[in-house]
């Protein structure tokens, strides 16, 4: 079997731990390393113990090992852009990147393969296509509203997934999201035709929930996705890691990974 040597950047975080564990449990991967912040209390800790898998014999470090085939990054936008300097094939799961930061990722992808995926689940990749098609077929007479819910510690709002679904809905109608997006409503805010409303709820331990709703005068069409466990994102991240280890430089999405 061809082993993929993987290093997880952000290994002490919620997603990082989940990816470390998934890699340890998958025989087609070898855990090469895990990167934590230089001042993190987890520095030097056994990565297997960090994710409650049991001793793995691989310690958390402040930089990835030279021999990792691929990096998987779940950190913050600033850290993600800084880590492009590693110049290695990478799967980026971090969300909330600004336009300028996205441009930096595009630049880096000219010399290394990068998968940029604000949502790694297979289900979300598929409903994105459904939303694009529904939006086009139902047409501008149907008002689109997107509602997402996440745990209380999520930093960016709306979620990268809500933006991805909103973009798909806009594309289905031949529109640009920037022209039609309305983020929450407050005060005097009558709905304009063609608007796509995007709303974020935050609380408790919700892993991730997205609803895209199309309203007309006479019906309501709803597309919904609920992540039941971070495991679904970790599985997608490993799939993307295997993909990115074997392709030419370029910027790829989950659609490419799943094709």
Q: Which residues are catalytic?
A: 150, 154
Which of 123/136 has CB closer to ligand NAD?
123
Interface residue with ligand NAD, options 8, 58, 89, 95 (CB under 6 A): 95
The sheet carrying 60-61 orders its strands as: 60-61, 29-35, 4-9, 70-73, 90-92, 113-116, 250-252
Give the number of other Cβ atoms within 10 Å of residue 102's Cβ: 14
> Two tokens at 238?
């490993």
Query: Which residue's CB comes closest to ligand NAD?
Result: 13
Query: Applying CB under 6 A, does 91 fall inside the site for ligand NAD?
Result: no
Query: Applying CB under 6 A, does 51 fall inside the site for ligand NAD?
Result: no
- Per-residue contact flags (x/-) with ligand NAD for residues 170 to 209, judged by CB under 6 A: ----------------------------------------
Which of 9/162 has CB closer to ligand NAD?
9
Query: Applying CB under 6 A, does 35 fall inside the site for ligand NAD?
Result: yes
**What is the DSSP pairing of strand 143-150 with strand 181-183?**
unpaired
Which of 9/238 has CB closer to ligand NAD?
9
Query: Applying CB under 6 A, does 15 fall inside the site for ligand NAD?
Result: yes
Cα angle for residues 22, 47, 36 (degrees, 5° grid): 105
Which of 59/221 has CB closer to ligand NAD?
59
Q: How far is the CB of 152 from ligand NAD (least distance, A)?
A: 11
Q: Are the beta carbons of 62 and 35 closer than 8 angstroms?
A: yes
- Per-residue contact flags (x/-) with ligand NAD for residues 219 to 238, judged by CB under 6 A: --------------x-----
Which of 27/100 has CB closer to ligand NAD?
100
- Per-residue contact flags (x/-) with ligand NAD for residues 114 to 133, judged by CB under 6 A: ---xxxx-------------
Interface residue with ligand NAD, options 32, 56, 75, 89 (CB under 6 A): 75
Q: How far is the CB of 139 from ligand NAD (least distance, A)?
A: 31
């Amino acid at each position: 079997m061809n082993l993929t040597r993987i290093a997880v950047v952000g290994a002490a975080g919620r997603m990082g731990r989940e990816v470390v564990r998934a890699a340890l449990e998958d025989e087609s991967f070898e855990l090469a390393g895990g990167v934590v912040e230089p001042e993190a209390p987890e520095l030097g800790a056994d990565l297997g113990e960090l994710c409650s898998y049991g001793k793995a014999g691989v310690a958390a470090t402040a930089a990835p090992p030279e021999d990792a085939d691929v990096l998987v990054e779940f950190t913050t936008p600033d850290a993600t852009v800084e880590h492009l300097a590693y110049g290695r094939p990478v799967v980026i799961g971090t969300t909330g990147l600004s336009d300028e930061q996205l441009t930096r990722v595009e630049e880096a992808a000219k010399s290394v393969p990068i998968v940029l995926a604000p949502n790694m689940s297979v289900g979300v990749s598929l409903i994105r296509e459904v939303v694009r098609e529904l939006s086009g077929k139902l047409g501008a007479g149907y008002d689109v509203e997107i509602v997402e819910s996440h745990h209380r510690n999520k930093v960016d709002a709306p979620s990268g997934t809500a933006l991805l679904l909103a973009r798909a809905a806009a594309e289905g109608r031949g529109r640009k999201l920037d022209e039609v997006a309305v983020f929450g409503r407050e005060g005097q805010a009558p709905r304009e035709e063609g608007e796509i409303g995007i709303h974020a709820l935050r609380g408790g331990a919700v892993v991730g929930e997205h609803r895209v709703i199309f309203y007309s005068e006479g019906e309501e069409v709803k597309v919904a996705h609920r992540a039941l466990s971070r495991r679904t994102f970790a599985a997608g991240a490993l799939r993307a890691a295997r993909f990115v280890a074997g392709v030419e430089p370029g910027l790829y999405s989950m659609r490419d990974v799943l094709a």
